[in-house]
Amino acid sequence: MQEYKTWDIDLMLTPQQCADTSKWLDVLYTKLHVFINWPDRDNLLKTMPMVLRKAFRSCAVIIDCFEVFIERPTSLKARAQTWSNYKKHNTAKFLIGITPQGSVSFISKGWGGRVSDVHLTENSGLLRHLLPGNIVLADRGFTIEESVGLLCAEVKHPPFTRGKPQLSKLEVDTSRQLSQVRIHVERVIGAVRQKYMILQSTLPISMITCTGDDNLSPIDKAVTICCALYNHCSSVVPFN
């Protein structure tokens, strides 16, 4: 029998308990998913933190990906699709977007851990929210300039250092400004993980299987619920 860490014990459920858990997830998702919404441009500007007002006034979203451990699937194909070279584990991978003021404005469905950041971003539905002139802040791995540019928006990430003896002063200043802002999405991910233990667990395969008509798996609903509840907490981003 597989060993479970102490915080995994609640996942060792009977079939009846699994059914009850699924029902509660359905109820909570129905009630709470509305608290993850994409604000309009006026509201973004009104709540823009001072640190962003000068350099990234048109910032609409700060994005990153995070992964949740899952049990190793028995299917070889599923095992390959969920294997994360970064985590060295089978995972479900999510794209998260936060507003400049630190609330979660977008959370994708779970994808296999093998998927690239670029493919996940371009196929998650996030780009449909962008308006002309919007700025997306991201890490170096999000090379989505072309797909974002087609929407007359812009993506900004730290400059690449490969093939350069050193960065210019402008590139160093830009990289420093981006790092000071991008760290907020990492802080949000860390806070959500810390508050909700389910995201620290190794989840059973049953959690990644879509069973209803909504084409959402229990893990999709659980992650959405955690992010929605987080939006009721104090922001990690100071306004001043």
What per-residue confidence (pLDDT) applies to 9? 32
Question: How many CB atoms are located within 10 Å of the residue 23 CB?
Answer: 10
What does the alpha-carbon distance between residue 93 and residue 221 come to, in Å, rounded to a whole number?
14
What per-residue confidence (pLDDT) applies to 176? 78
pLDDT beneath 50, residues of the chain: 1-14
What per-residue confidence (pLDDT) applies to 5? 32
Question: How many CB atoms are located within 10 Å of the residue 184 CB?
Answer: 24
Q: Read off the DSSP letter of residue 108.
A: P
Query: Residues 29-81: pLDDT tens digits?
Result: 999 999 999 999 898 888 888 878 878 889 999 999 999 999 999 999 999 99
Q: Write out the H or E segment, with its range, that includes residue 22.
A: helix 15-32
* Angle at the Cα of 177 from the Cα atoms of 149 and 137, rounded to 5 degrees: 30
What per-residue confidence (pLDDT) applies to 167? 63
